[in-house]
Amino acid sequence: MLFPLLFMSLVSQASLTVYGNADSAFLWWRQFQNVVPGLSVESYGKEFITAFPENIAYYHPRQSNKLLINAFYDGTEVTITTQNLSEYRTLQSGQSKVFHFPKNFEQYQFTRSFSSVRVNSSKLITVLWISQRGDSVQSNYVPPLRNLGNLYSIPFINYNQMMASLYGTAGLLALDNWRCIVINAKKITNKVIIQTVSTNETAFNYNLGPYELFQFQTNGSEIKVYSNNTVAVLLTHPCVQTTRCDCNMVVNHVLPQNLWGQNFVVPSVKNLNSTWLQVTSTKEVLLKGHNIQILVSNSSYLNPFPYLGIKSQFITAPNNVSIRLISPGLILELMPETMFAACYLLQMNSTEGEAIIIAPTASKGKVYMDNDLLTSSGWRPIDGSDYFSISVSLSGTHVIWHPSSRIGVYLFERMESGIPYGGPAIILNEDPDADGCVADPALFKTATHVMTWPESHAYCSNETFQLSTPTSSSAQTEMSNFLKNNGSSGYFWIGLRRSLITLDWYWKIGDDSDYNVTYTEWATGHPLAPKKALCASVSKNSTKMFSWKSVSCCSKRRPLCYKKANYFNDLTFDALP
């Protein structure tokens, strides 16, 4: 066992980097760190991988490790795969399902293992990770594989420094047992190299098999992780001391380095009396905020941050960094401003929770919860920024969204001791939509042949679409954008026609008729007299402003079929099992 001992000695002396190709990785990393990320950060997906770190906190026999799967669509086929078993379930729209894992599945040895957990789904889902032992509870949303990477930077968290500042001593518990789990996320052999940052010495050069993981202790070290292919990385501690002389397990699904940022809002979490910031950077940085300046030259140093009080704080860095908010019993990776999004899913593990919402000053009054406008006078300005924040008490499952701006949302719950746990809420959509959180975007399609209006209506209905119904200026714009990019010419049928009895115009939407026609885009001279025209078509020609003409329903045109968007905020989710 000489190499593991040598490896642990090397880890404890200096900061580390995990790399792939030993000859070129360091140069590649230097080039990579200047790339502006363009990665989607929506937190739902079809492929996930994670593991359960050891949780010995509270020394309590009651223990639970579980994954909570949320389905958005009917007929969602979910497979949970481990080394020894596969479990299958078919879920319906809005259904939540819990999968339990035994205590012996936890990672407690510093070695390689095939005890990773894979989640695969036929349709989009979210995965919530929960570990509980007595009063020690931690939860994290598991990122989908597309949000993982092959370059990570993981600091050593100097917990002894924090506890010594509170009590003048590090306490009775061993606080140096921080661990890192690296999981090969793909069904291929994946080279992983661990290298010291300060000396560039290679400490570890290893091939992980398909879905294999490796856990090692990170005493006194900062870690950067690079691999040839995608990996997941967890930073964890089985039992850190809290201000109540208890201890609880903490875990952090680490962001890859291409999701770092420069601007952050540090949320004001309730009942956090002592807080620190831990900043990981590729070089010395000066953090700035409202009457705040913090010089960071060592990523392993915890910087006291007694500014949260009753309001959130805005801080900036001159280059991309990763920032964690640390408090006894809590480790929270902050989401940079570049990860703000239009809508989020929040699901409580307990009966009480707290959502912290960060919204632009000019549009803070337009935040929605589910399908209702969030009405509250509790918004507080965040000094030195164009943001306000608010704390909202919640229970159950909710969707929080904004129709026109990107916002930030954090979700926190509390153990029986009052210590919070949680983190960023799950991102459903990055881009705003006036009607909510888009699950399936609107779609248009046309036929290759011409047909009458009744035939067109039947054709679209048979394709699970309907004839396009531009009932507003925004719907007209949406339809026009499709027509601009469609190579066809001439006119297309839309779902507007006249009643044979009253001669009133109405929208034919599926099998329903809507006579509330308040918006039209008629071309000059239209609509014609009823005896000449009972149906409507739209011009493909942008020079005609995609205007409408009234024509005989027996004329031959191509149908313009439309399928409306589906929205997450219209779903009703199961109560948490």
What is the amino acid identity at position 394? L
What value does the mean pLDDT take over residues 235-252? 81
- In this structure, the number of other CB atoms found within 10 A of the CB of residue 514 comes to 13
Strand partners, 154: 223
What value does the mean pLDDT take over residues 247-262? 88
pLDDT at 94 over 50: yes
What value does the mean pLDDT take over residues 10-37? 33
- In this structure, the number of other CB atoms found within 10 A of the CB of residue 300 comes to 16
Per-residue pLDDT band at 24 (split at 50, 70, 90): very low
Q: Residue with structure tokens 């006036």?
A: 434
Q: Which CATH code, of 3.50.50.60, 3.10.100.10, 3.40.50.1000, 3.40.50.150, is assigned to 443-563? A: 3.10.100.10
What value does the mean pLDDT take over residues 491-516? 92
pLDDT by residue (tens digit) across 371-404? 999 988 899 999 999 999 999 999 888 999 999 9
pLDDT at 34 over 80: no
What value does the mean pLDDT take over residues 84-111? 90
- How does strand 380-382 pair with strand 372-373? unpaired
pLDDT at 64 over 90: no
Distant-in-sequence, close-in-space partners of 206: CB < 8 Å, separation ≥ 6: 112, 191, 192, 193, 194, 214
pLDDT at 8 over 50: no
Per-residue pLDDT band at 204 (split at 50, 70, 90): confident
- Per-residue confidence (pLDDT) for residue 282, from 0 to 100: 82
pLDDT at 173 over 60: no
How far from the centroid of its chain's Cα atoms is residue 241's Cα?
Answer: 29
Q: Using an 8 Å Cβ cutoff, are 231 and 203 in contact?
A: no
Strand partners, 324: 278, 333
pLDDT at 38 over 60: no
DSSP 206-257: EEE-TT-EEEEE-TT--EEEEEEEEEEEEEEEEEEE-TTS-EEEEEEEPPPG
- Per-residue confidence (pLDDT) for residue 511, from 0 to 100: 84
- In this structure, the number of other CB atoms found within 10 A of the CB of residue 96 comes to 18
pLDDT at 450 over 60: yes
What value does the mean pLDDT take over residues 114-124? 95
- Per-residue confidence (pLDDT) for residue 35, from 0 to 100: 31
The Cα 45–Cα 32 span in angstroms is 26
Please tell me which residue, 10 or 173, carries the higher pLDDT value. 173
The Cα 257–Cα 150 span in angstroms is 9
Rounded to 10 degrees, the C-alpha dihedral 189/232/129/273 comes to: 160
- Of 219-228, 410-419, 459-468, minimum mean pLDDT range: 219-228
- pLDDT-above-70 percentage for the chain: 87
pLDDT at 184 over 90: yes
pLDDT at 422 over 50: yes
- Of 7-11, 102-106, 112-116, 318-322, minimum mean pLDDT range: 7-11
pLDDT at 175 over 70: no
By three-state DSSP, how is residue 171 classified?
coil
What value does the mean pLDDT take over residues 138-165? 84
- Of 32-36, 38-42, 257-261, 271-275, minimum mean pLDDT range: 32-36
- Per-residue confidence (pLDDT) for residue 434, from 0 to 100: 85
- Of 27-31, 168-172, 202-206, 514-518, minimum mean pLDDT range: 27-31
pLDDT by residue (tens digit) across 322-345? 999 998 888 899 999 999 999 999
- Per-residue confidence (pLDDT) for residue 174, from 0 to 100: 47
552 burial (CB, 10 Å; 0-12 / 13-18 / 19+) is: middle
- Per-residue confidence (pLDDT) for residue 196, from 0 to 100: 66
Per-residue pLDDT band at 158 (split at 50, 70, 90): confident
Q: Domain limits of the chain?
A: 260-437, 443-563
- Of 217-231, 247-261, 293-307, 553-567, minimum mean pLDDT range: 217-231
Per-residue pLDDT band at 30 (split at 50, 70, 90): very low
Please tell me which residue, 452 or 311, carries the higher pLDDT value. 452
Please tell me which residue, 551 or 132, carries the higher pLDDT value. 551
Q: Using an 8 Å Cβ cutoff, are 91 and 46 in contact?
A: no
pLDDT at 9 over 50: no
- Of 37-41, 83-87, 130-134, 334-338, minimum mean pLDDT range: 37-41
- In this structure, the number of other CB atoms found within 10 A of the CB of residue 547 comes to 15
Per-residue pLDDT band at 550 (split at 50, 70, 90): very high
- Of 141-145, 195-199, 319-323, 450-454, minimum mean pLDDT range: 195-199
pLDDT at 5 over 60: no
Ramachandran category for residue 546: left, alpha or beta (phi over 0 → left; psi -120 to 50 → alpha): left
Per-residue pLDDT band at 577 (split at 50, 70, 90): low
Per-residue pLDDT band at 270 (split at 50, 70, 90): confident
- Per-residue confidence (pLDDT) for residue 197, from 0 to 100: 65
- How does strand 76-81 pair with strand 117-133? antiparallel
- Per-residue confidence (pLDDT) for residue 219, from 0 to 100: 62
Average per-residue pLDDT for the chain: 84
The Cα 563–Cα 568 span in angstroms is 16
